Amino acid sequence: MQKTQPFANGLNGKNLLASYSAQGKPLNDEMLFPDGTVKPVWRDFFEHLSRLSTEELGSRFSRGDQYLRDAGVLFRQYDETLSTEREWPLSHIPVIIGEDEWQVISDGLIERADLLEYILQDFYGDNTLVASGQLPAKLLSQNPAWLRPMVGVGKQGAPLLNTLSFEIGRGPDGKWWVISDLIEAPSTVGFAVENRIAMGRVFPNFFAGANIHRLAGYFQAFQQRLMDIKGRSAGEVALLSPGPMNQNYAEHSYMARYLGLLLVEGEDLIVQDGKAMVRTVAGLKPIALLWNRLPSAMFDPLELESSSMLGAAGLVEAIRTGALRTVNMVGAGVLETRALMAFFPKIARAHLGRTLALPNIATWWCGQDSQRDHVIANSARMMVGDAFSTVPLMADPRTTAFGNPGDEPRAQQLADMLKTRGHSLVGQEAVTLSTTPVWQDDQLVTRPMCIRISMGRTETGWAVMPGGYARISAGDDAKALAMQRGGKVADVWVTSPQQVKTPSLLSASKNAETRSLTHALLPSRAADNLFWLGRYVERAEQNMRVFRAYFARVSDGADHSDTLPTFIRNELMAGVAPNASDIAERFGEPLALALQAASRISDRFSPDGMMALRGLVADAKALHTRHVPLEEIPVEISTLLRRITGFAGLVHENMYRSDGWRFLSIGISLERAANMCELLTACLSADPASGAMDLALEIGDSVVSHRSRFQIAASASSVTDLLALDPRNPRAVRYHVTRTKDHIANLPTQLEDHHMSHVARQVLLLETHLATCQPADISPEVLDQVKQDIWAISDTLNAYHLA
Amino acid sequence: MKYSVRLTIAHYYDQPAANSRHLIRVLPRTLAGRQRLATHLVEIFPEPESRTEGVDFFTNTTTSCFHRDQHAEMSIRLSCHVEMNAPMPWQDMSPNVAELRSICNALTDLGPTSALHFMGPSPRLPPNTAIHEFATDLFDATASTCENVIRIGKALHDAMTFDATATTVDTDAAEAFRLRRGVCQDFTHIMILALQSLGIPSGYVSGYLRTLPPPGGVKLEGADAMHAWVRAWCGPSQGWIEYDPTNATLVGTDHIVAGFGRDYSDVAPIRGHLRSSGGQKNTQAVDVAIAG
């Protein structure tokens, strides 16, 4: 960031204000009145900001960013098949709204939520809105978001909507408008919490003293609601996510952890006897309530979108029979259909007897002549887009603005389009948004913004989250259209003149029992990923050790074509070409795979572990691209090895002894034992004079142990004793077979009495075999058989617990 | 007339499948005054772990079944008796298409038999310009809706070649039309798109054809597997008429209805989802005979 001197002793409030209001449009600004004075709710914060220096601000902002990076909060973008990640675009200046105004907004949105519930029940129930002519039939009959297999579910009686988000903006008259109703899988709440925590790091002193409404109480209420819906029905409450490839996966995993829900993906679920079940390492367990974060059409490939790989077959049937509840109702996304906004005002008048306190952006469905004509007549201030799309019009790159005066041919073209296929188009007023301050180039600048607000149903009615997140436009064009790309997000503070309550989610002891139960359940998919995480990390470590042994010799003067280097390449590195980057790939690749596996289970893996793994992958990559002089390679690799050992330490010192930890640990052990078998097989088959035995000790990290246990030079017998049979050497095959046996004994089984599971029997037999072996019995053939036995154990484990 | 209908659908998996769930729509419907399902049996092999009978949005009968354990093949056998009544003498009571369109615009019933569901687009049938042009060229504004339906169905039959090797169950209508080749599913899909492009509500009918023609008759195409044809809504007086474009004929007592839908995806005889790493081979055999 550029440094400027004038504010070295604190940003001067007057200067700050002057340059901000000089940008010419405080007319509709969140912070300033039209006359340029600061609004009362912003005053304390503005003063606080003015007392800080540019340097102080810079370091505070980076504290917040550091938190977000550490928490793994990233902004993912998708372009066809490519997904890119960039830093979470937090604007470090909050948007501040007083609690009185917030109350007005909340009341308006609650009224709107009740209307939406009424409409949805009708859409999936009696269809009186269409029958009575309040809504054109085509808006349902030709609407892909109206899911016919769900028709009838609206009459089950229970509320269909339990959590909603809205995007609202403030128009030039100072009134708030609903820009979009976010019904299906709105990502709001998780990100709002993360923003809030980050802002706590940016303005810690201010935050502690200011009367800003806290968010935790809202989550307590919502968590309680989920438990209430589930009621007494046996089964879990789970959050169904599309998985790590989804842009909001971080939020899903965060919310699952925060609310104590089981995080599942479609492949975890099975419907059996009409009930939804989750596949866990302990067998099938019932699911009573799903917080669905899939697009509804993807929920069930059997009755909805048949190409869906995200949902699970039979879920819709489970809903129809009442065995499964979902939040929100599958099919509720139909409410997001743009064209419906044209009819909400009329339906509200008929149903409520009054207009909505918080109306949506004026919208016209061009399938009706009068509405279409209005759009054409007022085209200069219209946006036009697909009537059936559920993407908010202003966020859709395909939206067309009639726009620019003088562009007559284009306006004519649009008018023609409206006349021929009007029923598939809507016109929407192009709204002008209010502006809010953003810190840029060491000063405050005005940027258009809208706010995303979330609400959840509670026992006593809708509860609105006191805060939310603001989306801020990248440019200064106040047309909503400019929100499309490159914007920022900001925390929304709702302030009170009085002291506010400070609840914390952690104090909610009411659900303690439920949460511990949930955590005991380990979906097979998660266990599988933990198992592979262990295997890949261990494989990377082994290959690093081989890499180091190789380059220790080469940098010591040996030639790539000498006997031992050739032996290492051919027998221990699968014949890889003799250059550093190909060899480094042998640990770079498993590390990347380890990170992939870890990111699929980020809800069960500590942020520290993730960070350590990310660091490792980045360093391994750097080694790959950076030109490292030959003689420094062993030192560099030793640094990496220390870090990967640190990761293993984290696993063994910091992870809760859950079934998940056991699968991770088994992965490490089986991989290490099998790799050791391979190493020994190769070294025992090599010429005894080649130095292969010393090499085995070095790669097996057992040079010191060998010296203390044997007073002789490394021999085939001493090395096999130490690396294959020694129960006390954590590098030995037997040590890891025993550890695997202990883990397996502690895994949940579905067997009764004294019967052993097949896998427990297999591992006990192998352990006994190793325990009764003498070093002289160990030949390359025997080791190869042991390796086969190890992989057989892995296969059985997979079939029994993970399939 | 009473038919005995037999159908066998078999799936053979390269790698054993497990945790498989299927949704089956093969049972003939009962249609008042026209068709009555008498004794019937749908068997599934191997015996599924669970099985539920249901009714879908368009009131077709469904069977949903779940196989948890590994199995190398799965088959479904339907055997049933269906009684068919001769249709009423043909009489055209349909308005012209312009009138039909304004009737449709005023419809507000969203029940399963409403024409509103059949005005497109549907999951498998996005609008297609070439098919629209084909229909427009044949369209006669002065003729009744029924006449237009029959004229377009007949023209389509003449323009297309029945060819079981040219398309698969996943081929879209646009491609089949470009090839001017296909099977009953393709003929039906194309005709639905053609009629919808003119504003005539139309949908997909799945069902069975009698295998051997009556003495002196011609064996119909599509009798060896489940068949498909078109239904079109020709106004409130006429109601739905059914036309088989593969055989260029209005539907009579030789066509036994199993399912009504918007396109194939609504009435596929079997929709499945399973865990298996390999491919699979499917076979289907149908026999429809006069019952004793």
Distance from CA of B51 to the nearest CA of A (A): 8
**Highest-confidence segment of A120-129, A389-398, A748-757:** A120-129
Among the partner-chain residues A149, A272, A302, the one whose CB lies closest to the CB of B273 is: A302
Ramachandran bin of A55, using left for φ above 0, alpha for ψ from -120 to 50, beta for the remaining angles: alpha
Number of alpha carbons in the 13 Å side-chain half-sphere of residue B173: 27
Asked if residue A150 lies in contact with residue A161, where contact means CB atoms within 8 angstroms, the answer is: no
- Confidence grade of residue A683 (pLDDT, cut at 50, 70, 90): very high
Other CB atoms within 10 A of residue A713 CB: 9
B278: tokens are: 């390999």
How far is B45 from B11, CA to CA, in rounded Å? 10
Confidence at residue B40, expressed as pLDDT on a 0 to 100 scale? 96
- Confidence grade of residue A16 (pLDDT, cut at 50, 70, 90): confident
CB within 8 Å: A314 and B66: yes
Alpha helices (H) in A433-523, listed in sequence order:
512-520
Q: With 0-12 CB in 10 A as exposed, 13-18 as middle and 19+ as buried, what is A5?
A: exposed
How far is A790 from A673, CA to CA, in rounded Å? 8
How far is B185 from A229, CA to CA, in rounded Å? 45
User: Which residues of chain A lie closer than 8 angstroms to B271, CB-CB?
Assistant: 302, 306
Share the mean pLDDT of chain A: 86
Other CB atoms within 10 A of residue A393 CB: 26
How far is A569 from A578, CA to CA, in rounded Å? 7
- Determine the average pLDDT of the residues in B109-133: 95
Confidence at residue A475, expressed as pLDDT on a 0 to 100 scale? 79
How far is A378 from B273, CA to CA, in rounded Å? 50
Asked if residue A590 lies in contact with residue A568, where contact means CB atoms within 8 angstroms, the answer is: no
- Confidence grade of residue A437 (pLDDT, cut at 50, 70, 90): very high
- CATH fold of the domain at B97-267: C8orf32 fold (3.10.620)
Hey, what amino acid is at B20? S
User: Which residues of chain B lie closer than 8 angstroms to A149, CB-CB?
Assistant: 56-57
Confidence at residue A752, expressed as pLDDT on a 0 to 100 scale? 61
How far is B94 from B88, CA to CA, in rounded Å? 15
Asked if residue A207 lies in contact with residue A492, where contact means CB atoms within 8 angstroms, the answer is: no
Q: What single string gives the DSSP state of each residue in A72-102?
A: T-EEEEEETTEEEEEE--B-SS-EEEEHHHH
Asked if residue A160 lies in contact with residue A148, where contact means CB atoms within 8 angstroms, the answer is: no
Q: Which one of B66, B124, B264, B274 makes the best mutation probe of the A interface by having the most chain A beta carbons within 10 Å?
A: B66
The 10s digit of each residue's pLDDT in A29-41 is 999 998 888 999 9
- Confidence grade of residue A626 (pLDDT, cut at 50, 70, 90): confident
Confidence at residue A728, expressed as pLDDT on a 0 to 100 scale? 93
Distance from CA of B21 to the nearest CA of A (A): 6
A656: tokens are: 């809760």
Asked if residue A268 lies in contact with residue A524, where contact means CB atoms within 8 angstroms, the answer is: yes
Confidence at residue A406, expressed as pLDDT on a 0 to 100 scale? 57
Residue of A nearest to B266 (CA): A303
Residue with token string 């008048």: A349
User: Which residues of chain A lie closer than 8 angstroms to B25, CB-CB?
Assistant: none
How far is A7 from A84, CA to CA, in rounded Å? 37
How far is A551 from A464, CA to CA, in rounded Å? 62
Of B271, B164, B256, B154, nearest in space to B206 by CA:
B256
pLDDT exceeds cutoff 80 at A76: no
ipTM at complex level: 0.94
The 10s digit of each residue's pLDDT in A335-373 is 999 999 999 999 999 999 999 999 999 999 999 889 999
Report domain extents, chain B. Answer: 2-85+268-290, 97-267
CB within 8 Å: A149 and B57: yes
User: Which residues of chain A lie closer than 8 angstroms to B22, CB-CB?
Assistant: 302
- CATH fold of the domain at B2-85+268-290: Immunoglobulin-like (2.60.40)
Among the partner-chain residues A137, A272, A313, the one whose CB lies closest to the CB of B110 is: A137
- Kindly report the backbone phi and psi dihedral angles of residue B94, in degrees, each rounded to the nearest multiple of 5, phi listed first: -90, 150
The 10s digit of each residue's pLDDT in A780-789 is 999 999 999 9
Confidence at residue A757, expressed as pLDDT on a 0 to 100 scale? 85
**A137 contacts chain B (CB < 8 A):** yes
User: Which residues of chain A lie closer than 8 angstroms to B23, CB-CB?
Assistant: 302-303
Among the partner-chain residues B18, B119, B273, the one whose CB lies closest to the CB of A313 is: B273
Confidence at residue A500, expressed as pLDDT on a 0 to 100 scale? 86
Going by the DSSP 8-state scheme, the letter that residue A559 receives in this structure is: -
Supply angle C-alpha B144, B149, B152, rounded to 5.
Answer: 120
Hey, what amino acid is at A671? E
Among the partner-chain residues A137, A272, A303, the one whose CB lies closest to the CB of B50 is: A272
3-state secondary structure of A287: strand
A798: tokens are: 């997979």
Q: Between A752 and A420, name the one with better pLDDT.
A: A420
- Determine the average pLDDT of the residues in A534-540: 95
- Confidence grade of residue A438 (pLDDT, cut at 50, 70, 90): very high
Going by the DSSP 8-state scheme, the letter that residue B252 receives in this structure is: -
Cis ω for the linkage preceding B46 (within 30 of 0)? yes
User: Which residues of chain B lie closer than 8 angstroms to A273, CB-CB?
Assistant: 49-50
How far is A449 from A480, CA to CA, in rounded Å? 8
- Which value, in Å, is the radius of gyration of the alpha carbons in chain A? 31
A751: tokens are: 């067997």
3-state secondary structure of A473: coil
- Torsion angle, CA of A167/A171/A175/A179, rounded to 10 degrees? -20
**A138 contacts chain B (CB < 8 A):** yes
pLDDT exceeds cutoff 50 at A517: no
Our measurement of the distance from residue A467's CA atom to the centroid of its chain's CA atoms, rounded to an integer in Å, reads: 21
**B106 contacts chain A (CB < 8 A):** no
- Determine the average pLDDT of the residues in A63-84: 72
Q: Which one of A306, A308, A343 makes the best mutation probe of the B interface by having the most chain B beta carbons within 10 Å?
A: A306
Of A473, A337, A334, nearest in space to A392 by CA:
A337
B144: tokens are: 């009744």
CB within 8 Å: B273 and A151: no
Residue of A nearest to B117 (CA): A141
Residue of A nearest to B51 (CA): A273
How far is A28 from A737, CA to CA, in rounded Å? 70
pLDDT over 90 percentage in chain A: 48
CB within 8 Å: A317 and B64: yes
Confidence at residue A26, expressed as pLDDT on a 0 to 100 scale? 57
Residues whose CB is less than 8 angstroms from the CB of residue A65 and which lie 6 or more positions away in sequence, other chains included: A87, A88, A90, A198
CB within 8 Å: B265 and A306: yes
User: Which residues of chain B lie closer than 8 angstroms to A274, CB-CB?
Assistant: 50, 52
- Confidence grade of residue A154 (pLDDT, cut at 50, 70, 90): confident
CB within 8 Å: B119 and A142: yes
Asked if residue A26 lies in contact with residue A36, where contact means CB atoms within 8 angstroms, the answer is: yes
B271: tokens are: 């929709």
Q: Which one of B58, B64, B270 makes the best mutation probe of the A interface by having the most chain A beta carbons within 10 Å?
A: B64
Of A678, A680, A679, A651, nearest in space to A743 by CA:
A651
pLDDT exceeds cutoff 50 at A515: no
pLDDT exceeds cutoff 90 at A487: no
Number of alpha carbons in the 13 Å side-chain half-sphere of residue B149: 33
Strand pairing partners for A169?
A177
User: Which residues of chain B lie closer than 8 angstroms to A313, CB-CB?
Assistant: 21, 272-273
**In chain A, residues 293-332 whose CB comes closer than 8 Å to chain B:** 301-303, 305-306, 313-314, 317
Other CB atoms within 10 A of residue A148 CB: 20
Residue with token string 């029945």: B162
Contacts 24+ apart (CB under 8 A), B211-220: B211/B286, B211/B287, B211/B288, B211/B289, B212/B289, B220/B246, B220/B247, B220/B254
Hey, what amino acid is at A258? Y
User: Which residues of chain A lie closer than 8 angstroms to B120, CB-CB?
Assistant: 142
Handedness of CA B91, B97, B99, B103 (dihedral sign): positive
Alpha helices (H) in A124-202, listed in sequence order:
128-131, 138-141, 189-202
How far is B260 from B222, CA to CA, in rounded Å? 18
pLDDT exceeds cutoff 90 at B158: yes
pLDDT exceeds cutoff 70 at A198: yes
**In chain B, residues 173-202 whose CB comes closer than 8 Å to chain A:** none
- Confidence grade of residue A115 (pLDDT, cut at 50, 70, 90): very high
CB within 8 Å: B49 and A272: yes
Distance from CA of A153 to the nearest CA of B (A): 12
The 10s digit of each residue's pLDDT in B207-245 is 999 877 878 777 777 778 899 999 999 999 999 999 999
B62: tokens are: 């469904």
How far is B17 from B277, CA to CA, in rounded Å? 8
Report domain extents, chain A. Answer: 13-87, 95-338+433-517, 362-429, 522-655, 657-803
Determine which of A54-58, A326-330, A580-584, B199-203 has the lowest per-residue pLDDT on average. A580-584
Distance from CA of B131 to the nearest CA of A (A): 18
**B64 contacts chain A (CB < 8 A):** yes
pLDDT exceeds cutoff 70 at A67: yes
Strand pairing partners for A32?
A38
Among the partner-chain residues B21, B57, B273, the one whose CB lies closest to the CB of A151 is: B57
Going by the DSSP 8-state scheme, the letter that residue A29 receives in this structure is: B
**A171 contacts chain B (CB < 8 A):** no
Distance from CA of A144 to the nearest CA of B (A): 8
User: Which residues of chain B lie closer than 8 angstroms to A317, CB-CB?
Assistant: 52, 54, 64
Handedness of CA A297, A300, A302, A307 (dihedral sign): positive
- Confidence grade of residue A224 (pLDDT, cut at 50, 70, 90): confident
CB within 8 Å: B66 and A272: yes
pLDDT over 90 percentage in chain B: 82
Confidence at residue A484, expressed as pLDDT on a 0 to 100 scale? 54
Q: What is the pTM of this model?
A: 0.87
- Kindly report the backbone phi and psi dihedral angles of residue A701, in degrees, each rounded to the nearest multiple of 5, phi listed first: 50, 40
CB within 8 Å: A317 and B52: yes
- Confidence grade of residue A688 (pLDDT, cut at 50, 70, 90): confident
